[in-house]
Structure 1
Amino acid sequence: MNDSLDADAVLWSHASAERDERPLLVLLHGYGADERDLFGLVPYLPPDFAVAALRAPLAPPFPAPGYSWYPIEGLESRDPRHVTAAARRVLEWTDAVATGHRPIGLLGFSQGAAVSLQAMRLAPERFAFAVNLSGYVTPGDVAGDAALAERRPPVFWGRGTNDDVIPAFLVEHSTEWLPGHVELSGRVYSGLTHSVSEQELADVRVFLDKRLEALAADG
């Protein structure tokens, strides 16, 4: 099975000539979706970003549609190596395709959020911030955790009170782990299921606008 990312499947918000001078925001979709899923959020995101929506490399078992970053069937879903492998593929993509873009931010939903956070843990110097929508931090130690805790990049975490997809122990672990490693902000949305609401998108927009301001100030 070819588990590398398909560069031809990436959806871009800007033409090639308009990307290099813009900070890059990489979108990572959830289980059973594809690159078109989160690309629909582009109108809600600051236009100053060059947005790239990636397609996960794995095909879920029939009859599930779309693609996945790592398997969730059986005991395999409890193995953090799968999440780490997916995060390494994202790092490889940024090395091969996005070398002209600095800084880089990550925005993921569910599986994509878990992979985003894992990529940031593997290479804390690579990413300026992350947006975690209905995702979680993968349990277990990663070599870059100490460096991440020292850098403390901004992370937005949004989730719903009625999300019955992410297990409670992963929410609890993320709640305990994130404040010690990142500059955490976000909200728990009353009544929201495993999805994204307009209020959450408005909050994400505020977060991303602040990131642009900070990046401009850093010059």
Structure 2
Amino acid sequence: MSSRSSTHGHVTTRQGDGTILVSPRNEADQSASIIICHGLGDTAEGFVDVAEQLSSQLPYAKFILPTAPTQKVTMNMGMAMPSWYDIVGLDKRSNEFCKGIDDSQAKLTHLINSEMELGLPRNRIVLAGFSQGGALSLYTGMQLSSSTTTNNGDADTTTSTTITPLAGIILLSGYLPHASAFHITPGLENTPIFHGHGTLDPLVKLEAANESRSTLIEQHGATNYTLKTYQGLAHSINPQELADVLDFLHKVLPPNEECKIKLKDPRQMSIKELKAAIGKAGLGNRAVGFMEKREFVELLQLFRQGKL
């Protein structure tokens, strides 16, 4: 991690691959995750302020901001820039050519699975994004595969397949990409979707937003799709839209103590892992002079228990 800062009880860290995390200072407090994908030509840095602002109202949520790979974009004269997939043009026909979208879809799915490996159920995770990032979030979130659980009992081994939707999907100034290849995984039709769009958006026009909503509802059976428009807003986000996003997040991700992530027991952590966790918690000064692993373990245990 190249840099670290603290705000509102959250810690912002920047990783070498361009991913930025805004996470609870005490990792043990996390019970939800929100993945935010930036728009074309931007990076994760473009949404740090938004994530930090939202984190002040969602103290139990971790925000994950990935950065898209740099690749040539046909619509921008072949110039290389951060892009989740190639964009040939803004018309409906051109929108069917989205080279690279499968790789980005796989990346988002991997991020979701990584959070689930920490113990979060899928319905405590939200996918969000702006413009191209919102399009990718919609495309990925409604096509997630089922999760398979294997139960190894004393008798026969049983395997069950469950379909669990995300807590929600947020797309701002976005649209449905690669519509001809899109489908909704059976069981995910009721995934809550919030789509915010400006009435004067010159890039992703309002008619594209209306068509995306109609396609998901009428052709694919989505049952929980809300499209809200903002008068006079261009290809951007305004305070009212951000307030509506926060309201949506409070609705789909209410506090839930039972969904806290499962952290590695400090007693099973290496000295390196202990020092990293203590540093992230801002407890480095308290560990000065520590010589034995037991001291690091006790410090981290007390912090996770809320006693520091």
User: Normalized against structure 1, the TM-score is what?
Assistant: 0.81
- Residue in 2 that maps onto 1:72: 87
- Residue in 2 that maps onto 1:158: 196
- CA drift at 1:18: 1.1
Opposite residue 48 of structure 1, the aligned amino acid is Y
Could you say which structure has the larger radius of gyration? 2
Distance 1:197 1:64 in 2: 29
Opposite residue 39 of structure 1, the aligned amino acid is V
Distance 1:192 1:210 in 2: 25
- CA drift at 1:78: 2.7
Q: Aligned pairs, how many?
A: 211
Tell me the C-alpha RMSD between the 2 structures.
3.0
CA 1:182–1:29 in structure 2 vs 1: closer, same or farther (change >3 Å)? Answer: farther
**1:165 counterpart SS class:** coil
- Residue in 1 that maps onto 2:141: 120
Pick the structure with more strand per residue.
2
Correspondences of 1:49-68 after superposition (within 5 Å): 49-60=61-72, 66-68=81-83
- CA drift at 1:194: 0.4
CA 1:190–1:19 in structure 2 vs 1: closer, same or farther (change >3 Å)? Answer: farther
Q: Does 1:21 align with 2:30?
A: yes
CA 1:177–1:146 in structure 2 vs 1: closer, same or farther (change >3 Å)? Answer: farther
Q: Does 1:142 align with 2:154?
A: no
- Residue in 2 that maps onto 1:92: 110
For structure 1, which segment, 158-167 or 59-68, has the greater mean C-alpha deviation from structure 2 after superposition? 59-68
CA 1:193–1:168 in structure 2 vs 1: closer, same or farther (change >3 Å)? Answer: closer
Q: Does 1:203 align with 2:244?
A: yes
**1:72 counterpart SS class:** coil
- CA drift at 1:20: 7.2
Pick the structure with more helix per residue.
1
* The one of 106, 110, 117 aligned to 2:131: 110
Distance 2:182 2:174 in 1: 18
- Residue in 1 that maps onto 2:256: 216
CA 1:209–1:96 in structure 2 vs 1: closer, same or farther (change >3 Å)? Answer: closer
Which whole-Å deviations, capped at 9, do the CAs of 1:7-54 have from their partners, x for residues lacking one?
732111126861673200001000000011112202331232110111
- Identical pairs, percent: 26
Opposite residue 105 of structure 1, the aligned amino acid is V
